[in-house]
């Protein structure tokens, strides 16, 4: 079943709103301009220089053949002075053109690179602003997000550097070449344009195919990245169940699909230059055949023919380049579309312009008729109406899926209530600055994430300006100091990726220290002792008793032994509060809580 599900996900195309080609190009040009406006002015100067040189170079050869070498009508004798003058003029233009091209290429590369870094920065900032509704969506895997920040951004850089800016100047080259072609010989222009419909017809077919292949290729690459990320993150499970071969097969299936699409794309791209050259050769052959007749009739000079052929190349070469740009654009459309969609994604959690920054708070919390649903029509919390006093120790219990974690996610404002309001010290959470709110909360989760730095750095993450003394003092309070000092490097021990070098209990305790180092007025513990062994739990219970004094605390626990001493226990079932009171009151009530309590503390050897 797992393999079938994986394969179905691999082949399934993500349904996303489309972003038009014109909108993507317009936005990219805007980002290029925004990157560094000062670079655009010299770029325009060098680009215009190249265009002008390209326009007038064929006229030098026309004059060289007709005036300098005597190839005009009537076959006049050559003029060495004209030849030397034109040669000097051509050399100067060539030097200027080469320097302009070098400068133009450098500026375009710089603009593309700066645009890439700015886009990646904006995208990363947006990822940090997007709420958990975005990051917890099953469609948006970690691998896909990494691919957005790397593969997609690099594709955009290649598009800007290899085609976007050059294509803008190519438009003027095409128009200039067309003007001079008509000026030199309307007849030859008409003949050469007979192949234009053929050129655009074939180009259209090839571009449509390229669009299909490149879109498919981007999807395949994203799937490979997601599969790779999942495999690396789950390597311990894969090896534990000895599923290396099965996992390798799944990865090979993903890479095989990518390879097949890549080969189809490469085959198409190999055909394009040959087809275009044949079309251009057909056009030049038609021009040469017609020009022979015109020269014999005396209505066309040999120099004019040479210049016309140059302009013909100047006309078709940008078209060929533009066609290459269009195929490259197809590869970039999916990437650009995804990036624009993310950058334009509406934030589920918005901060008001006049939001308040709270300083000292007592920790009084109110849930006023709060309802919440992740999906419309599927309520998670229903009619939650509760007041939590300042410095009260509150505990939440209930079966999995009762809404306990959602309860604290709303308090942290990772989500906003569907209905109702939540207040701290009388302030509606929606009226507070998000950073100000979260700085007042110390949060310890069941599955805590440790960064791949040192133990000291991970604890200091809760308070970046904390001194070493503060870190050590906090570690002692949560009974993790002894563990740390037993390690060879002590507080400078590298924890490894996601804390892989530490035990689950050690990771949990370090996360506990990270949350407490800020001395938060509100403490949230979501299964905070679930990964700690009984011995470690005994060590931390005394610390918890001390640390919870003087602050509001909300604890979620399946192990009722950890919350028996809470001032009040809230029992949630199917998103509703069904019981509340102290441990003793709830036991005497002989309801849902007492049933849970008896299940956990029942003697397994008693019948």
Are 177 and 315 within 8 A, CB to CB? yes
Q: What is the dihedral of CA 131, 136, 138, 143, to 10 degrees?
A: 90
Q: Does domain 370-440+521-602 have CATH number 3.40.50.150?
A: no
User: Mean per-residue pLDDT for 539-564?
Assistant: 76
Give the residue among 481, 484, 503, 491 at the shortest CA–CA distance from 454.
491
pLDDT at position 240, please? 65
pLDDT above 70 as % of the chain = 87
The two tokens of residue 110 are 């710089």
- Asked which of 79-88, 171-180, 348-357 is least confident by mean pLDDT, the reply is 79-88
Crossing angle (nearest 10°) for helices 21-35 and 302-343: 90
Crossing angle (nearest 10°) for helices 244-297 and 196-233: 160
pLDDT higher than threshold 80 for residue 244? no
pLDDT at position 117, please? 84
C-alpha to C-alpha distance for 133 and 348, rounded to whole angstroms: 8
User: Mean per-residue pLDDT for 395-409?
Assistant: 88
Model confidence at 15, pLDDT cuts 50, 70, 90, reads very low
pLDDT at position 543, please? 61
Give the residue among 572, 551, 546 at the shortest CA–CA distance from 408.
572
pLDDT, tens only, 413-470: 888 999 999 999 999 999 999 888 888 888 877 667 788 788 888 888 888 888 889 8
Of 325 and 343, the one with more pLDDT: 343
- Asked which of 31-45, 97-111, 114-128, 298-312 is least confident by mean pLDDT, the reply is 31-45
Cα Rg of the chain, angstroms: 35
Give the residue among 318, 317, 315 at the shortest CA–CA distance from 184.
315
Distances from the Cα of 338 to the Cα of 70, 114, 151, 391, 495, angstroms: 61, 20, 12, 46, 35
Model confidence at 385, pLDDT cuts 50, 70, 90, reads very high
Of 30 and 594, the one with more pLDDT: 594
pLDDT higher than threshold 60 for residue 171? yes
For CA atoms 243, 247, 249, 250, the dihedral sign is positive
Burial label, 559 (beta-carbon count in 10 A; 0-12, 13-18, 19+): middle
User: Mean per-residue pLDDT for 147-166?
Assistant: 77
Q: Which residues pair with 571 in a beta bridge?
A: 397, 579
Are 413 and 429 within 8 A, CB to CB? yes
Model confidence at 17, pLDDT cuts 50, 70, 90, reads low
Sorted by where each begins, the domain ranges of the chain are 20-343, 370-440+521-602, 450-519
pLDDT at position 535, please? 64
| Domains 370-440+521-602 and 450-519 equal at CATH topology level | yes
For CA atoms 575, 576, 579, 580, the dihedral sign is positive
Rama region for 498: left / alpha / beta (φ>0; ψ in -120 to 50; rest)? left
pLDDT higher than threshold 50 for residue 605? no
pLDDT, tens only, 106-129: 888 888 888 888 888 888 888 888
Are 560 and 596 within 8 A, CB to CB? yes
Q: How crowded is residue 182: how many other Cβ atoms within 10 Å of its Cβ?
A: 13
Are 433 and 357 within 8 A, CB to CB? yes
Instruction: Return the CATH class of domain 20-343.
Output: mainly alpha
Q: How crowded is residue 422: how many other Cβ atoms within 10 Å of its Cβ?
A: 20
Q: Which residues pair with 387 in a beta bridge?
A: 366
Of 578 and 246, the one with more pLDDT: 578
User: Mean per-residue pLDDT for 589-600?
Assistant: 84
pLDDT higher than threshold 90 for residue 26? no
pLDDT at position 368, please? 94
pLDDT above 90 as % of the chain = 9
Give the CA angle between residues 268, 274, 277 to the nearest 5°: 135
**How is domain 450-519 classified at the architecture level of CATH?**
3-Layer(aba) Sandwich (3.40)
* Mean pLDDT, the chain, whole residue set: 80
% helix, strand, coil for the chain, step of 5 = 65, 10, 25
Sheet bearing 419-424, strands edge to edge: 378-388, 365-375, 419-424, 427-428
pLDDT at position 273, please? 74
Model confidence at 37, pLDDT cuts 50, 70, 90, reads confident
Model confidence at 161, pLDDT cuts 50, 70, 90, reads confident
- Asked which of 114-123, 193-202, 426-435, 576-585 is least confident by mean pLDDT, the reply is 193-202
Distant-in-sequence, close-in-space partners of 554: CB < 8 Å, separation ≥ 6: 388, 394, 395, 396, 407, 408, 411, 522, 523, 524, 525
Longest alpha-carbon distance in the chain? 123
pLDDT at position 14, please? 43
Model confidence at 272, pLDDT cuts 50, 70, 90, reads confident
Of 35 and 336, the one with more pLDDT: 336
Relative to beta strand 568-573, strand 393-397 is parallel
Model confidence at 542, pLDDT cuts 50, 70, 90, reads low
Its pTM surpasses 0.75: no
User: Mean per-residue pLDDT for 144-167?
Assistant: 77
C-alpha to C-alpha distance for 44 and 100, rounded to whole angstroms: 11
Q: How many angstroms from the chain centroid is the CA of residue 508?
A: 30
DSSP letters for 209-233:
HHHHHHHHHHHHHHHHHHHHHHHHH
C-alpha to C-alpha distance for 586 and 593, rounded to whole angstroms: 6
- Asked which of 76-80, 100-104, 403-407 is least confident by mean pLDDT, the reply is 76-80
pLDDT at position 576, please? 92
């Amino acid at each position: 079943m797992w393999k079938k599900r994986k394969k179905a996900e691999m082949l399934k195309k993500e349904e996303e709103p489309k972003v038009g080609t014109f909108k993507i190009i317009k936005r990219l040009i805007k980002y290029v301009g925004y990157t560094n406006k000062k670079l655009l002015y010299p770029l325009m100067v060098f680009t215009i220089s190249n265009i002008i040189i390209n326009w007038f170079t064929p006229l030098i050869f026309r004059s060289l053949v007709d005036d300098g070498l005597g190839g005009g009508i009537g076959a006049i004798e050559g003029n060495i002075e004209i030849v030397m003058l034109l040669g000097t003029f051509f050399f100067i233009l060539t030097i200027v053109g080469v320097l302009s091209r070098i400068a133009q290429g450098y500026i375009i590369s710089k603009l593309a690179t700066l645009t890439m870094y700015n886009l990646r920065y904006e995208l990363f900032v947006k990822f940090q602003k997007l709420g958990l509704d975005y990051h917890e969506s099953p469609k948006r895997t970690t691998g896909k997000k990494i691919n957005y920040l790397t593969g997609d951004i690099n594709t955009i850089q290649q598009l800007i550097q290899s085609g976007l800016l050059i294509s803008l100047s190519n438009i003027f080259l095409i128009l200039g070449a067309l003007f001079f072609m008509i000026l030199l010989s309307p007849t030859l222009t008409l003949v050469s344009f007979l192949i234009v419909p053929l050129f655009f017809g074939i180009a259209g077919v090839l571009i449509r195919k390229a669009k299909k292949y490149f879109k498919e290729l981007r999807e395949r690459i994203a799937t490979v990245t997601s599969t790779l990320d999942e495999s690396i993150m789950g390597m311990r499970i894969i090896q534990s169940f000895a599923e290396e071969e099965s996992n390798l097969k799944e990865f090979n299936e993903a890479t095989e699909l990518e390879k097949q699409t890549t080969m189809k794309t490469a085959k198409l791209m190999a055909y394009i230059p040959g087809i275009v050259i044949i079309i251009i050769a057909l056009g030049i052959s038609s021009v040469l055949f017609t020009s022979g007749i015109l020269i014999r009739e005396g209505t066309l000079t040999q120099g004019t023919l040479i210049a016309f052929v140059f302009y013909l190349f100047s006309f078709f070469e940008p078209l060929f380049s533009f066609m290459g740009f269009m195929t490259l654009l197809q590869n970039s459309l999916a990437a650009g579309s995804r990036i624009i969609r993310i950058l334009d994604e509406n934030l589920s959690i918005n901060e008001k312009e006049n939001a308040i920054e709270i300083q000292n708070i007592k920790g009084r919390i109110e849930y006023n008729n709060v309802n919440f649903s992740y999906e419309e029509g599927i309520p998670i919390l229903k009619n939650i109406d509760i007041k939590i006093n300042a410095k009260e120790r509150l505990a939440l219990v209930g079966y999995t899926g009762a809404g306990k974690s959602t309860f604290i996610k709303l308090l942290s404002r990772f989500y906003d209530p569907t209905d109702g309001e939540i207040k701290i010290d009388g302030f509606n959470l929606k009226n507070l600055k998000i950073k100000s709110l979260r700085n007042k909360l110390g949060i310890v989760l069941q599955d805590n994430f440790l960064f791949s730095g040192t133990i000291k750095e991970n604890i200091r993450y809760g308070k970046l300006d904390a001194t070493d003394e503060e870190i050590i003092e906090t570690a002692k309070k949560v009974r993790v100091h002894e563990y740390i000092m037993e390690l060879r490097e002590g507080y400078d021990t590298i924890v490894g990726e996601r804390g892989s070098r530490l035990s689950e209990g050690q990771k949990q305790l370090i996360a506990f220290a990270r949350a407490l180092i800020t001395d938060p007025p509100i403490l949230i513990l979501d299964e905070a002792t679930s990964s700690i062994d009984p011995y470690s739990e005994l060590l931390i219970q005394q610390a918890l008793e001390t640390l919870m004094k003087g602050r509001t605390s909300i604890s979620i626990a399946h192990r009722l032994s950890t919350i028996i001493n809470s001032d009040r226990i809230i029992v949630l079932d199917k998103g509703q509060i069904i019981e509340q009171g102290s441990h003793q009151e709830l036991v005497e009530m002989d309801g849902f809580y007492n049933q849970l309590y008896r299940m956990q503390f029942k003697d397994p050897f008693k019948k």
